[in-house]
Structure 1
């Protein structure tokens, strides 16, 4: 395996395409692995066994700065981090368990099977994500239309109120003795004088007080009528205030009953917490240590485990029950919090997921499949997870940030596994690591700016849909090429020997 960089025209074009697709993948919240594999395979003409490990290195490089971009950002709706650490923690164990199996599947299965399965998956995701993006765009357009209509209504009400105030003023200065027309004309003169700001030099101008002084006193009946009206309005406002106070009292009494629980939930969601950090590290370290123990490729096991021996397969698969146990623990923790929120009627913010037992189990299984695809096909771990979170209607900004963390955890584990079994040439691996390290934050920050400027979160979903569609097209070509040039050698025998 050549480990030298040749900066010829083909290599430069391939690197530029990796940079361009990095910008797209960063905005979409996916690793971009399928895009990268297509470029490595079609443009740079690397074999599938080299393209997939290089893809994971490129994903790892881009995921690092994206995490730091998202880490300090806040949720656009409520006061908590943009990254949903509970979702990431639930996804990580099963995703990493999937990558362990996926790496082996990549080595053992024929290339056309790997790529054909990925193509079919991408077609489905492309179709569904495009529909979701269009639906989100229409929803945002409808909200904008309603806001505009409400603004127009508010302006009309304001004008009506001003007109009503003027009419009331006219009524108040009527004397009831045939001088209505004279007084109305005087008010019109006042308005004209105020508009041209010339009343100071107008000798005929009279203030409202002067008009009242020079005219006869108001009719007693009119006075009583005005007083009755004011009294009625005061009583109405008192009723409204009492009703509002009753609602607030009821709400406050309910909140005070569960004040401790509310504060506990808010405190838990405002930061990542030591418990979550420890669980993240445990899962990642288990996967990493297993890779060191089993070895592979040109790398020897630290404890002398021979490749394809009983001990090798035992060490390889021992992470599965451990990750399942951690997933059960995290799932139980999330389920208990969801039940507590239901009990105290804790508000579910638009764009959050309402977790239940079935949703937690289904999501965990999808994450295992996600890791399998990431390890086997070189796809970023965010591809399937992002798709499922889109289906679950998670807020698009939260979705991309959370997915990026999942990608970082999975890609770092997978890249190191490939490095340890000797499948990644250092020069090429770290070159593309550097390209994505620079381009990913540029793409992410650019899309964030556009979303804020145009107030269109649908842009994130459209970027995701476009990235997946391009990936499907590239993978279609890869699959056909693999079928035409497939090797009939026994890959299991090659791997073990």
Structure 2
């Protein structure tokens, strides 16, 4: 949502951002043109405002790190205890036994509680920022009722879709972040940060069960790293020269479109293969 749609917040009162403004990445400057930077009178700052300014200046924020570490650890350890059809439980829990579903329920409850706690903290910080006179700038997420509800609903939908068809959560969340006014470079980086922890727990579980072909992993990882470095360098230079951050938005949209097309093609090929083997293509298989 636009900052100006919320009349309760204090907008940035500093200089207007232009192409000569310093302290802003060139990739984001085009996105922020015409917006104002924050500017505070140090003689009239209260302790709460000083705290949030200090936090915003810092790149190491323990609470935000714990926000992703706690769900990651809960998924990893409960997954090790519970097991599934592919991975054996480290304590001998059988698939579809009573303890299997108890641990599954515990996993859902733990993640729901962690999500609820994080939402409450974000809302509390948002209210404190309003009360202390914090100046919101373009790219800040306004955690009011409308925004919070949208994020929660979209997160549930994204989790369902990614779990059902194998889409990366990073691919799904990037357009949402951009829609809320977050600069594209920040949106894509944040999405990849989320995707890293979302897939790391599954990767560790498969590694401990011996399902990883390390020769293939190292081979593909090497090319993936090279591609990432080349892609980041080339795109950054293009944006820096043209001053047009829309290049990144179009790339993200293209990746999403190609992912959808690839998913459809793979699905059709699998259905045809099952049909040729005379398998039932409409039957659901039991998780047990």
Alignment partner for residue 71 of structure 2, among 280, 283, 299?
A: 283
| 2:234 paired with 1:414 | no
The CA deviation string for residues 291-350 of structure 1, in whole angstroms up to 9 with x for no partner, is 111123454211110012121122123221111111122111111221122223322111
Structure 1's 285 and 80: CA in aligned 2 closer, same or farther, altered over 3 A?
farther
Equivalent residue runs for 1:440-451 within 5 Å: 440-451=228-239
Does structure 2 retain, via aligned residues, the 8 Å contact 1:382–1:406? yes
Residue 399 of structure 1, CA deviation: 0.8
Equivalent residue runs for 1:359-378 within 5 Å: 359-378=147-166
Secondary structure of the equivalent of 1:306? coil
Residue 355 of structure 1, CA deviation: 1.5
| 2:47 paired with 1:260 | yes
| 2:280 paired with 1:488 | yes
Question: 1:321 maps to which residue?
Answer: 109
Secondary structure of the equivalent of 1:290? helix
| 2:131 paired with 1:347 | no
The CA deviation string for residues 42-75 of structure 1, in whole angstroms up to 9 with x for no partner, is xxxxxxxxxxxxxxxxxxxxxxxxxxxxxxxxxx
Secondary structure of the equivalent of 2:252? helix
| 2:61 paired with 1:302 | no
Structure 1's 433 and 295: CA in aligned 2 closer, same or farther, altered over 3 A?
farther
Question: 1:438 maps to which residue?
Answer: 226
Residue 420 of structure 1, CA deviation: 5.3
| 2:191 paired with 1:399 | no
Structure 1's 484 and 389: CA in aligned 2 closer, same or farther, altered over 3 A?
same
Equivalent residue runs for 1:21-40 within 5 Å: none
Equivalent residue runs for 1:168-183 within 5 Å: none
Residue 473 of structure 1, CA deviation: 2.5
Residue 425 of structure 1, CA deviation: 4.1
Does structure 2 retain, via aligned residues, the 8 Å contact 1:297–1:422? no
- Pick the structure with greater CA Rg: 1
| 2:92 paired with 1:270 | no
TM-score (norm 2): 0.76
RMSD: 3.2
Q: Distance in 1 between matches of 2:229 and 2:195?
A: 14
Structure 1's 419 and 362: CA in aligned 2 closer, same or farther, altered over 3 A?
farther
Q: Distance in 1 between matches of 2:158 and 2:233?
A: 26
Residue 411 of structure 1, CA deviation: 1.8
Residue 433 of structure 1, CA deviation: 3.2
Does structure 1 retain, via aligned residues, the 8 Å contact 2:74–2:107? yes
Q: Distance in 1 between matches of 2:222 and 2:90?
A: 30
Does structure 2 retain, via aligned residues, the 8 Å contact 1:293–1:301? yes
Question: 1:65 maps to which residue?
Answer: none
Secondary structure of the equivalent of 2:135? coil
Residue 406 of structure 1, CA deviation: 0.7
Residue 263 of structure 1, CA deviation: 1.3
Residue 285 of structure 1, CA deviation: 0.7
Question: 1:358 maps to which residue?
Answer: 146
Does structure 2 retain, via aligned residues, the 8 Å contact 1:79–1:270? no
Following superposition, which runs of at least 4 residues in structure 1 exceed 6 angstroms of deviation? 77-81
Residue 480 of structure 1, CA deviation: 2.7
Q: Distance in 1 between matches of 2:210 and 2:266?
A: 24
Q: Distance in 1 between matches of 2:161 and 2:130?
A: 35
Residue 419 of structure 1, CA deviation: 4.5
Q: Distance in 2 between matches of 1:406 and 1:316?
A: 22
**How many equivalent residue pairs?**
254
Q: Distance in 2 between matches of 1:273 and 1:395?
A: 20
**Structure in which a larger fraction of residues adopt helix:** 1
Structure 1's 462 and 279: CA in aligned 2 closer, same or farther, altered over 3 A?
closer
Question: 1:331 maps to which residue?
Answer: 119
Q: Distance in 2 between matches of 1:269 and 1:314?
A: 41
Q: Distance in 1 between matches of 2:87 and 2:127?
A: 48
Question: 1:130 maps to which residue?
Answer: none
